[in-house]
Chains A and B, each alone.
Chain A
Amino acid sequence: MKTLKDARVGQTVTVVKLHGEGAVRRRIMDMGITKNVEIYIRKVAPLGDPMELNVRGYELSLRKADAEMVEII
């Protein structure tokens, strides 16, 4: 399974499914990361974490540990 954590900077990926449960997962969905949405990986923070994504026309930052919940192709 490929997750958002493995995506490289500059790539555009499509979300397949969200794994996990609870508050973090719900927050990720509320912020617009849902099935079939396209995500552009903008950059990774200077110290290697979190990552900055462009989703639904705005910039979102997400820790790699949480990005692991997002399955992509």
Chain B
Amino acid sequence: MQYKIALAGNPNSGKTTLFNILTGSNQYVGNWPGVTVERKEGALKGHTDVIIQDLPGIYSLSPYTPEEMVTRKYLVTDHPDAILNIVDGTNIERNLYLTTQLIELGYPVVVAVNMIDLVRRRGDNIDLEKLSKAMGCVCVEISALKGEGCTEAAEKAVELAKYHTHTERPHVFNGSVEHALAHIEESIEGKVDGNYLRWYAIKLFERDDLVRKEVGLDDGLIRHLEQHIRDCEREMDDDAESIIADQRYTYIGNVMAKAVKKKAGKHAMTLSDHIDRIVTDRILAIPIFALVMFLMYAIAMGNFPWSIGTMGTDWANDVLFGEWIPGLMDKLLTNLGVSGWVYGLVMDGIVAGVGAVLGFVPQILVLSLLLSILEDVGYMSRVAFIMDRVLRKFGLSGKSIIPMLVATGCGVPGILASRTIEQENDRRITVMTTGFIPCGAKMPIIGLFAGAVFGNSPLVAVSAFFIGIGAVVTSGVILKKFKTFSGKPAPFVMELPAYHMPSGRNVLRSTAERGWDFVKRALTIVLISSIVLWGLQSYGFVDGKLAAVENANASLLAELGSVLAWLFYPLGWMGDMAWKATVATFTGLIAKEEVVMTFGTLYNFAGELSESGNEIWAMVAADFGPVRAYSFMIFQLLCAPCFAAMGAIKREMNSAKWTVGTIAYMCGFAYAISLIVYQIGGLFTGEAGFGVFTVLALVVLAVLVYLIFRKGAAEKTLEKV
């Protein structure tokens, strides 16, 4: 017989730490059906017959956030055998609010009071016996960070599950509410699963829409129930939802008075409060945030003697994928005596393509490590607190600043960092726009045009950043006006958890997960695309027959470029440069710096090309006028990101529709801006004449302005009300 123990608790209660201790490396990670909420389960260490199901961190079983809906659905349809409810002992009052809801479901519940070491250090005391009695469940104490009492807590839950121990449920509500609940229970008996009768009755009393729909009551019965609810509301002079929340907290207040003794006064400053006085100080907050970001960026991607991420990546690029692996493969392939095309495929296609992407792994690991630490310590919610005011204007959350900043180094960890944003709409808009930020790999493109066309003006790079930020901001404003993003308003009612020491286990685990994820992507999507692009680049039609070609100008890729070049004609890609530009755009999908390398190949430059390609500057300058060059650069900065970043988008969106939508949006936006810049800018400098496409550009500009300034779907519904 297998037992299922559901692990439930508030966010920041130490749930992840406990889950990792209980299951060890024995975890299965997936997603809850239909939502981007991570689902984890694993066998309890030493008990192959016990599955621990980790539930999302929630504050309540209200019907609003995806996390709450997932948890509710699981609890009433999947029938766990017991619930292990982890409760933060230093913040027990609010944590018990969820407990009062969990015990209503009728399952055996074990309450694990976590951070008990901190509680003791504060000189507070929690009387577990009194707490158990008052809450009608077993209460034990644990310290997940130190690993104390965790297994015992889980085993207690298993024991209760085995013997189906039921305890008397406490009377949380007062007489008139219980009276109304009794009436509701009576009316719905037989219509719902009897085990959850009380839970359904309370939800119907709260006028919970999800449950109303689920139970499917007829109008007569709804009116009948409404009568009871109204009577109660009149008597208590409040609305039903408030009555329930109020009485839960009142009940907890009474329990606290009996079972919890606090040493310090009500508003005494804890160590965490003292830290916060400085970290979120009116004047110091933003400089400190800038410093933290700078350090993170510098350690992972900077050029300092202590920039370990850069060192790792340089080593991976120059030594590992520059000498060792190519050398090894070279020997291996030569000894095997493979034919020329196999050699080319492995060396130029696979090793070069996959290596270019895997080279980023050290930087990504360092970034992920630092991000996990910031997250675990509790700094991320402070970032949201500090930056919320600015970012919510653009439909983003305060936390969106982190992905954006990380993306200036590499878009992949940037997009993955959006995971910490709780609100789905904010997270989606962040994922859709993070790729606009110019990443490290786009720097060579900027360098090429700044050098070849703009006399090395540093303004080009600066403007590239403003274009990136501008694209994020305008997209935020445009997107949030669409109906999809205007749904339920995302409440920004956020806990600022007490700072605490990071758990090494959690930090390493989440770093390893992100790193491994990136490697997996490099070995799948990047591998396949590298092979395809290599094939297109190395083969061509010679005298009507498919054959290997030396000169890239005769390759299939060049042909494909010529066939598709008309697509970009309105952007001013015309004449002989059109197909080259088109080909470079495609190779840029592997990694953005490939754009420059491709120009090197296509302009027939034979030697080793410098990073920003100064050797081909003269030829590029001959093909690109200033406006055309600038418009081309904008297109490269904003259009579809590299394959690795697309993979990251797919992972965070967890939906094919949203992934394709994001990439299409990015390409469309890039095309629009590039078109406007070339046609209208070119009209002024004489680079582009007035014609059909000038009109098109003006129309696109008008549409863009309309999308920015129109009334959003949310405002419209507000007006209707």
Contact = CB atoms under 8 A, between A and B. Distances in A.
A52 B249 contact: no
B495 A45 contact: no
B242 A47 contact: no
A26 to B, nearest CB: 5
Nearest to B91: A58
B493 A62 contact: yes
Interface stretch (B15-23, B277-285, B529-537): B277-285
A47 B389 contact: yes
B492 to A, nearest CB: 5
Interface in B485-532: 488-489, 491-498
B320 interface: no
Contacts, number: 124
B93 A66 contact: no
Nearest to A63: B492
B293 to A, nearest CB: 15
B246 to A, nearest CB: 5
A59 interface: yes
Given A45-B389, A46-B386, A61-B385, A29 B241 contact: yes
Nearest to A24: B491
A43 B493 CA distance: 15
A43 B386 CA distance: 12
A24 B389 contact: no
Interface residues of B, number: 43
A59 B491 contact: no
A14 interface: no
A47 B91 CA distance: 28
A1 B385 CA distance: 27
Given A46-B286, A54-B267, A60-B494, A24 B489 contact: yes
A31 B11 CA distance: 12
Interface string B228-269: 000000000010011001100100000000000000001100
B276 A32 contact: no
Interface string B377-393: 00001001111111010
Contacts of A50: 385, 388-389, 492
A49 interface: yes
A2 to B, nearest CB: 19
A30 B388 contact: no
A59 to B, nearest CB: 4
A48 B246 CA distance: 30
B60 interface: yes
A46 B282 contact: yes
Contacts of B249: 32, 34, 37, 56
A27 B386 contact: no
B62 interface: yes
Contact of A45 (B64, B266, B280): B280
Interface centre among A25, A26, A38, A48 (most CB of B within 10 A): A26
Contact of A27 (B62, B242, B389): B62
Nearest to B262: A57
A63 B62 CA distance: 21
Contacts of A32: 93-94, 97, 249
Most chain A C-beta atoms within 10 Å of own C-beta, residue among B62, B280, B493:
B493
B59 interface: yes
A13 to B, nearest CB: 13
A34 B245 contact: yes
B280 A43 contact: yes
Nearest to A12: B267
B126 to A, nearest CB: 13
Contacts of A30: 59-60, 62, 97, 245
A12 B265 CA distance: 14
Contacts of B280: 43, 45-46, 52
A10 B166 CA distance: 46
Nearest to A56: B93
Most chain B beta-carbon contacts within 10 A, residue among A30, A48, A56: A30
A52 B385 contact: yes
Contacts of B62: 23, 26-27, 30
Contact of B496 (A22, A28, A52): A52
A60 B91 contact: no
B180 to A, nearest CB: 18
A49 B392 CA distance: 11
Given A57-B91, A57-B93, A59-B276, A48 B389 contact: yes
Contacts of B392: 63
Interface in A2-43: 12, 17-18, 22-32, 34-35, 37-38, 40, 43
B594 to A, nearest CB: 40
B334 to A, nearest CB: 63
A50 to B, nearest CB: 6
A59 B389 contact: no
Contacts of A17: 238
27 contacts: A27-B64, A27-B491, A29-B246, A30-B97, A30-B245, A34-B242, A34-B249, A35-B238, A35-B242, A45-B280, A45-B385, A45-B388, A45-B389, A46-B282, A47-B387, A50-B385, A50-B492, A52-B496, A57-B91, A58-B93, A58-B498, A59-B498, A60-B495, A60-B496, A61-B384, A62-B493, A66-B491
Interface of A: 12, 17-18, 22-32, 34-35, 37-38, 40, 43-50, 52, 54, 56-63, 66
Interface of B: 59-60, 62, 64, 91, 93-94, 97, 238, 241-242, 245-246, 249, 266-267, 273, 276, 280-283, 285-286, 381, 384-390, 392, 488-489, 491-498
Given A18-B242, A47-B386, A58-B94, 7 more contacts: A24-B493, A29-B246, A34-B249, A40-B266, A46-B281, A47-B390, A62-B492
**Nearest 9 interchain pairs by C-beta:** A30-B60, A59-B496, A29-B245, A47-B389, A23-B64, A27-B491, A24-B491, A56-B93, A46-B285
